Chains A and B, each alone.
Chain A
Amino acid sequence: MSLFSFCKWMAEWTAQKMLIPIFEFQEGLFPPFTNPAGSIADWLGTDGGITTLAWLYAVNIAFAVGMTNLILVIHLERKIAARIQDRRGPMLSFRSFRELGEDLAGSAPSWKFKENYAGIGILQNLADGIKAIAKELIVPAKADKFLFTMGPIIFISSSVFLLVLFPLSDRFAASSAPAGLMVIMAAFSIAPIGVLTSGWASNNKYSMIGGMRSAAQLMSYEIPLLLSMAGVFLMAGSYDPVVIVEQQQASSWFFGIPIWNFIPQFIGFIVFMICILAEVERVPFDLPEAEAELVEGWTTEYSGIRYMFFLMAEYIRGFAGAAVATILFLGGWAGPWPIPPEIWFLTKVYLIIIFWIFIRWSVPRIRTDQILELGWKKLLPLSLINLLIVIFMVEIYPYFSEIVSLPEVF
């Protein structure tokens, strides 16, 4: 049963059992007056109404799954950082809640804890959220108020859009566009506008330098990113994530073991991983928000829930980037039978994210003068070489092997 058919069943059930009776009851409340509730009830009875309701449910389920994953990613980042750097907060955050309870109640609660409080650090997210909501939204006096408000909105909306775009498996998908991965890249490419406007509108040197660095970085890394993706698109002959994963499963190497795209297109895989790191602005490429030199870059002037939006959007983009890398190069949701495909997909995504977190706490940031050189002089030629190899594999070699009977190797 796919997600959409489940949602359709749920939509029919809720429409018949709950929504239509409620709207008809509302229609009967004030009979002399015309009431749109009756026409809404009629519309829910039709096929179009049920389908719309089912899409609403599907998108909401995908959104909820994505946000849950977001919380887990943030928790994972905090936890691994705490392990690497010996931080206390994420490991012991429940103790502060207990101390708060002691302060409020006047005495210690009666319930006992384990001595080391293991596994309770996920409440650090809750504490962070409460802190962010409780803080004041400060707008600098000489800032451009309109764009200062619009910047976070553009950034978070284009990032949340990403959550419903990638499928967790061929049955668990809220969106099934034939150009699926291009839609994801389009949603990725809206974000620089939000970054630039919020960096400019803060009316602050460091924010503006951060915004300009971000623009330079995102622009120069988008080209090798799309070129390394082009190799995969050429091999699968489609932009559809489902078709791409099926193609990776179908191309077997020996003994029926599927050969996923990161083996024949190893150069493309490396280029893609570096470029997606730059695209989601994680650590070797976090120049736009370099704490040491730019005081958090383009997010300096933001406070409270707006800063939380930036943080959240960055983690959403990281999760979506890891998901795209999994679909393109690591075989997506394919895996041995007893474990369901969604779990396989999330396992691969989380492996990539854990790899990124390890990079974050062990690798220094690259210099500003190196970043464009790396993008244009090294990654762009490498991605072109990868594209050339794929063109040879897909187009030229089969053609010549038909004419002069070469062995079938690819």
Chain B
Amino acid sequence: MALDLLVFWFLAGLILAAAWAVVNGNDIVHSVVWLSTVFLLTAGLFILAEAEFLAVIQVLVYVGAISVVIIFGIMLTKRTLKGGEDV
């Protein structure tokens, strides 16, 4: 039981740190990668709550689809390479 609590607080701390990194990132692509980290760690919380199927669907939908759509959207909007050249 104590081990469960330890893992929960560990995951919760990691989720909070990753969420802080989402908000405070300098680059929007970094933020999206941290956001997908938040989604993955939330799946860990679901496993801890013995909801394995929900964890799998969380990874499949949020990490596999939503994060990729967000990254895709960012990359399709107009931006420049570092160094000023247009893509």
Interfacial residues, chain A to chain B (CB-CB below 8 A) = 142, 144, 146-147, 150, 177-179, 182-183, 185-190, 192-193, 196-197, 200-201, 203-205, 208, 211-212, 215-216, 218-219, 222
Contact = CB atoms under 8 A, between A and B. Distances in A.
B81 A196 contact: no
A124 to B, nearest CB: 35
A142 B82 contact: yes
Contacts of A197: 29, 33, 71
B65 A193 contact: no
Contacts of A204: 81
Nearest to A205: B87
A182 B56 contact: yes
7 contacts: A142-B83, A189-B65, A193-B33, A197-B33, A212-B72, A215-B71, A219-B65
A365 to B, nearest CB: 22
Given A147-B29, A205-B81, A196 B53 contact: no
A196 B68 CA distance: 8
B57 interface: yes
Contacts of B36: 193
Contact of A219 (B52, B69, B83): B69
Given A212-B75, A218-B68, A190 B63 contact: yes
A204 B85 CA distance: 10
B56 A186 contact: yes
B59 interface: yes
A205 to B, nearest CB: 6
Interface in B61-85: 63-65, 67-69, 71-72, 75-76, 81-83
Contacts of B50: none
A129 to B, nearest CB: 29
Nearest to A226: B60
A163 B36 CA distance: 22
Contacts of A182: 53, 56-57, 60
B71 A186 contact: no
A203 B33 CA distance: 17
